[in-house]
Amino acid sequence: MYAELSLVVMVASLLVGGWCLVSAARERWLGAGQVVALAALELVLLAQAVAATVRMVGGERPDQFGTFIGYLATSVAVLPLATLLSFMERTRWGSVIAGVAAIVVAVLTLRLRQVWVPA
Amino acid sequence: MSTEVEPRTAVNAGPGRVLIGLYGLFALSAGVRAGFQIASRFDQAPAAYLLSAVAAAIYLVAMLGLIRGGRGGQRLALVCCAFELAGVLVVGTASLVAADVFPDETVWSFYGRGYGFVPLVLPVLGLIWLTHVRPTAHS
- How much is the pLDDT for B1? 43
**CA-closest candidate to residue B119, choices B94, B95, B87:** B87
- The pLDDT confidence band at residue A86, using thresholds 50, 70 and 90, is very high
CA distance A110 to A40: 19
Measured CA angle at A51 (ends A78, A67), to 5 deg: 55
Short-list B70, B83, B61, B62, CA closest to B13: B70
Would you call A12 an interface residue with chain B, using a CB distance cutoff of 8 Å? Answer: no
Contact A78 B14 (CB under 8 A): no
| Average pLDDT of span A38-52 | 97
Q: Across the interface, which of B14, B22, B116 has its CB nearest the CB of A91?
A: B14
Cβ contact, residue pair B116, A107, below 8 Å: yes
When pLDDT is averaged across residues B34-50 and rounded to a whole number, the result is 86
- pLDDT of the residue at A37: 98
Enumerate chain B positions whose Cβ falls within 8 A of a Cβ in A.
13-15, 17-18, 20-22, 24-25, 28-29, 32-33, 36, 40, 116
CA angle B52, B87, B73 (to 5 degrees): 90
Please judge whether B18 and A100 are an interchain contact, meaning their C-beta atoms are less than 8 angstroms apart: yes
CATH assignment at residue A20: 1.20.120
Task: Please determine, for residue B5, whether its predicted confidence score (pLDDT) is greater than 50.
Answer: no
How close is the nearest chain B Cα to the Cα of A82, in Å? 7
Dihedral of alpha carbons B25, B31, B33, B34, sign: positive
CB contact under 8 A, B25 and A94: no
**CA dihedral in degrees (A29, A34, A39, A43; nearest 10)?**
-140
| Residues B96/B43, Cβ–Cβ less than 8 Å | no
Query: What is the C-alpha separation between A49 and A43, in angstroms, rounded?
Result: 10
Q: Which domain holds residue A52?
A: 3-116
pLDDT band of B36, cuts 50, 70, 90: confident
Q: What is the mean pLDDT of residues B60-66?
A: 97
What is each CA distance from B77 to A58, B49, B61, in whole angstroms?
A: 46, 23, 7
Contact B21 A100 (CB under 8 A): yes
Split at pLDDT 50, 70, 90, the class of A117 is confident
- Residue B15 near residue A93 (C-beta atoms within 8 A): yes
| Model pLDDT, residue B9 | 62
Per-residue confidence (pLDDT) for residue B42, from 0 to 100: 85
Measure in Å the smallest separation between the Cα of B82 and chain A Cα atoms: 23
* Confidence at residue B119, expressed as pLDDT on a 0 to 100 scale: 94
Mean pLDDT score of chain A: 94
pLDDT for the residue numbered A61: 87
Residue contact A88–B17, C-beta within 8 A: yes
* Of the listed ranges A44-53, A100-109, B105-114, the one predicted with least confidence: B105-114
